[in-house]
Amino acid sequence: MSNKQTELSTDVVIVGGGLVGMATALKLAENGMSVIMLEAKLPDLNMHHDSYDSRTLVVNPASKAFWQQLGIWKKVETTATAINQVHVSNQGQFGNVLFDHNELEVMALGHVIEAHVLGAVLWEQLKQNANIKVLAPATMLDFSVAELNVDVLIESQGKQRLKAQLMVAADGAQSAIRTKLDLPFTTKSYDKSAVICNISTEQAHQNKAYERLTKSGPFALLPFKDRYGLVWSNSNERTDELMAMSEHEFMAQAKQAFGCRQGLFTQMGQRHRYPLFKIQVEKQFQPRIVLMGNAAHTVSPVSAQGLNLAIRGVKRLCKLLQDQFNQGGDLGSEALLSTYQTCSQADQDQIMAYTDDLMTWFKIDEPIINTIRSLSLVAIDSQIGLKKKLFSLAGGLNH
């Protein structure tokens, strides 16, 4: 058998074919760049296998606009559920805030979609784009950076060598590329886990989401089709107990934490457990290499901001690369990648701080703090200007 290696050249190579990797590939290809995307395994392409246990994602207004520009949204929205109201309350204390799309003069505050539907639509778009070559299954074996290109050695039906001006690392929170580059990063564990599952209530959701701020952490219900997606933060020890409970006992405990606003919990799906932590990489690039998505910044799912933050980064990077490409410039230039991170830093820091507040400040159970929190909710609810500012933050409209 021959050990001869195939050599391929491209403008950009993307390592990681998740949602962030696919979005980046499509946006770059739309602007005329050639892209090779590497993915470790072939995806499940069945976008129509509706399941009670389907994993859902929140798409904020900024991300919706991005998917619309890519021609993706019209294929996703038929199975999406609009969020028209968000009710925020502080367990055991007075005060709440109601965000309403009519009051804020928007069509919807956000949408809840199935992750596998978005993934399947993106994958189909990739296959139809002549500027994109997908190698899957493929494994990156090694890479090295030269003056004019990055050289990537992969295994995909034999060894192949890729040359590109830029490599995008979209290989997740445990990024192998970040590890090899030895880029410094900070990790914060909240010593908590989230129980995530789909759950039905006695009363119809009427497109209303809930964020319940409890002593153990946020308790969120996100409307989707005829059910809710539940994200419930607790200590690791309490999570152990919740995961071991019968469905009947779990639903009783969930109702106790949430209250009576939706009546009884009547049905639930499979429970999943996610450790809650954040990762932020200090310098998210090296010459000819840039980290994207969870490889650069990982936030806990309680804020529903992870993918939305990543998509804003994709849009920002692709605009810089488009301008550079149109001028015949170097796509892997350190100056360009430094500009990208500078433009992204405030957005990333703001979302990290927002998630920190959800995970830490609201767990303090002191009378004075409880009163301050409750008064803050009352103040926000009475001022439309404050509501609009908070909606702009959560909706990704500030950046």
For the stretch 374-387, pLDDT in tens is: 656 667 777 898 89
Note the pLDDT tens digit of each residue in 196-253: 999 999 999 999 999 998 888 889 999 999 999 999 999 999 999 999 999 999 999 9
pLDDT digits (tens, 9 = 90+) for 300-320: 887 789 999 999 999 999 999
The residue-averaged pLDDT of 28-39 equals: 97
Q: Over 90: is that where the pLDDT of 336 sits? A: yes
* HEC readout, the chain: CCCCCEEEEEEEEEECCCHHHHHHHHHHHHCCCCEEEECCCCCCCCCCCCCCCCCEEEECHHHHHHHHHCCCHHHHHHHCEEECEEEEEECCCCCEEEEECCCCCCCCCEEEEEHHHHHHHHHHHHHHCCCEEEECCCEEEEEEECCCCEEEEEECCCEEEEEEEEEEECCCCCCHHHHHHCCCEEEEEEEEEEEEEEEEECCCCCCEEEEEEECCEEEEEEEECCEEEEEEEEEHHHHHHHHHCCHHHHHHHHHHHHCCCCCCEEEECCCEEEEEEEEEECCCEECCEEECHHHCEECCHHHCCHHHHHHHHHHHHHHHHHHHHHCCCCCCCHHHHHHHHHHHHHHHHHHHHHHHHHHCHHHCCCHHHHHHHHHHHHHHHHCHHHHHHHHHHHCCCCC
Domains annotated for the chain, with CATH where assigned, are 8-51+117-186+278-357 (3.50.50.60), 83-109+190-276+370-392 (3.30.9.10)
Judge whether residue 371 has pLDDT over 60: no
Average pLDDT (53-67) is 93
Share the mean pLDDT of the chain.
Answer: 91
Average pLDDT, integer, range 152-177:
96
pLDDT above 70 as % of the chain:
91
Q: For the segment 248-288, what is each residue's pLDDT rounded down to a tens digit?
A: 999 999 999 999 999 999 999 999 999 999 999 999 999 99
